[in-house]
Amino acid sequence: MKRPSLPLMAAICLSAACGDSPERQTGTGWLEASWTGADTGKMAASSTAEWCPERRLLEIHAIQGDTGLALVLYPQDTIEADSYRVVQPERAESLAPSATVALRVFSSTTIQGYQGDSGSVVLESSGTGGLSGTLKATVRSVINGQLLTLTGEIQDLVVVPQTRGCKPEIQADSGDTNAERSASEVD
What's the confidence (pLDDT) of residue 185? 45
CA distance 58 to 38: 29
What's the confidence (pLDDT) of residue 126? 79
What's the confidence (pLDDT) of residue 22? 54
What's the confidence (pLDDT) of residue 107? 74
pTM of the model: 0.75
CA distance 150 to 116: 9
What's the confidence (pLDDT) of residue 173? 55
What's the confidence (pLDDT) of residue 116? 96
Query: In this structure, are residues 29 and 155 in contact, taking their beta carbons and an 8 Å threshold?
Result: yes
What's the confidence (pLDDT) of residue 127? 72
Within the chain, which residues score under 70 in pLDDT? 1-27, 168-187
- Residue 98: count other Cβ atoms within 10 Å of its Cβ: 22
CA distance 17 to 33: 17
Q: If we measure between CA atoms, which residue out of 111, 102, 153, 103 comes closest to residue 17?
A: 111
What's the confidence (pLDDT) of residue 110? 81
